[in-house]
Amino acid sequence: MSHQENLIREQFKKQAKGFADNSLTMNNQSYIKWMLDGLIMSSEINALDVAAGTGILSRAISPFVDNVTSMDLSEDMINEGDRINKSLGLTNIRYVRGNVENMPFQENQFEIVISRFAFHHFNNPRKVLKEMSRVSHKIIAVIDMISPDDNYLSEQYNHYEKLRDPSHTKALKQSELLSLFSDLNIQTYSIETLDVPVSVIKWMELTKTNEHDASYIKDQINEELDTGKQLTGLFPFISNDHLMFKQTWMKVYGIL
């Protein structure tokens, strides 16, 4: 198993239980609705959720399709997702554990292949998107955070994300994510971005960032707020006495 796979398993072993927290932005129902807007679904469709984690998006899709396969590397995330699904009585979601760079599925097996908040954990996002294209015969969808267009701010953004979560590799720029689609000849039909306010404390609590790194990140964010200089790529601000930052989400839907 690669170093990155071990990092992912270690990090999400710590995080799995926290994904059920409904106060997290990733569980916000209006944001989930935004993710699904424009996604073509019907009761005949077989969907694949790539690097699904606990299956937040799988559960959102499941009422509108025939079945969902949720694939993830982390046993802890799969076990937590299976527990939630059983508690909700969901029967059309199945979990498969594996590496998304080499999926154990046939060509054209799914109508929809989607990935949510996972590309920033991949060593080779192009290879993963190519695999997604191989196993789909209709829709490819990627939703992820993106980093700022400015090179320095992009590097800084990814630096602090990696400090917070060592399994983070790189949040792509908008242009980089779109290039992956064009390089693989996937025709895009829906491209949208959304700016999302995120609590700095909850952001680090989810990943259980160690005290030293958490303190450093907060100090750097506060220095940015004090000086007015863009230092972190996080675009921090204060809201109701809470330390916040702006995360930009991007969804790209393509058709084969």
* 184-234 per-position pLDDT tens digit: 999 999 999 999 999 999 999 999 999 999 999 999 999 999 999 999 999
Lookup: tokens for 105: 């599925």
Give the Cβ contact number of residue 161 at 10 Å: 23
3-149+166-197+246-255: which CATH topology?
A: Rossmann fold (3.40.50)
E strand residue ranges, the chain: 46-50, 67-72, 93-97, 110-116, 136-146, 187-199, 236-239, 242-255
Q: What is the pLDDT of residues 144-174, one digit of tens each?
A: 999 999 999 999 999 999 999 999 999 999 9
Specify which residues 49 forms β-bridges with: 70, 114
Say what the pTM is: 0.93
Give residue 15's pLDDT. 67
Q: What is the pLDDT of residues 7-58, one digit of tens each?
A: 666 766 666 566 666 667 777 899 999 999 999 999 999 999 999 999 999 9
